[in-house]
Chain A
Amino acid sequence: MRTIRSKVVMLILVVVILGVMLQGCATSKYKVMYGIADWYYTNHVTLQAQYDAGTDTQKAWLRVNVNPYMNMMQQAVIAMRAIDVGDNVKASACASEILRIGTGIKYDVAKIVTAIKAKDYDTLFAQSLALKSFIIQKLSERK
């Protein structure tokens, strides 16, 4: 799964499959959420065991191609519950961690949300510069 297109295809497949699953219990919020959490937990434990039992090559492959996405999903599941109980601080921290794993940049999502609400464009501009640097770096790596 080296190309961006194959990763996007895999992501779309996962979303479609989850969507089909959700259709069957669309009226039941907590059943859906529990299904997602239970699914994540099972896969995390399985992957940890696979990683521990793997060769160095398999471990290296998992560290690059699978584990970051699982860790982001872990934060997303924790954020899902935090949002449901109204814990915006925790949800922001989870969002920051997802961005850190995905981009390598440390964002303070709580600060960004505060800046958006306060129309603090200086803070938003500074945050967007970090993202711009990341995008430019990735584009130059592809050449």
Chain B
Amino acid sequence: MEAETQNGKEVTMNPIADMAVNVILSAIFAFMKAQGLSEEEAKLKLMEKVDQIEKLPPLPMDI
């Protein structure tokens, strides 16, 4: 994480809090984007998006 300064003091974001905020914000904007579509457009875009998701390699994990 890059350090920012506030009043001359270094401030670093808690990485977990940063991740949680990203998750919440992305959810808000994803649903706002979906609201602007018609049902047919949403269905089409859903199919395209899931096709993209299927092609994503799984994230590395310790199993």
Contact = CB atoms under 8 A, between A and B. Distances in A.
B28 interface: yes
Interface of A: 1, 10, 14, 17-18, 21-22, 24-25, 28-48, 50-51, 58-60, 62-64, 66-68, 70-71, 74, 77-78, 80-81, 101, 104
A46 B34 CA distance: 20
Contacts, number: 116
Nearest to A81: B50
Interface in B16-63: 16, 19-20, 22-24, 26-28, 30-31, 33-35, 37, 39, 42-43, 45-47, 49-50, 52-54, 56, 58-63
A116 B59 CA distance: 33
Interface residues of B, number: 34
Interface of B: 15-16, 19-20, 22-24, 26-28, 30-31, 33-35, 37, 39, 42-43, 45-47, 49-50, 52-54, 56, 58-63
Instruction: Provide the main secondary structure of the chain A interface.
Output: helix
Contacts of B47: 81
Given A42-B30, A64-B62, A70-B59, A31 B53 contact: no
Given A67-B60, A81-B46, A35 B54 contact: no
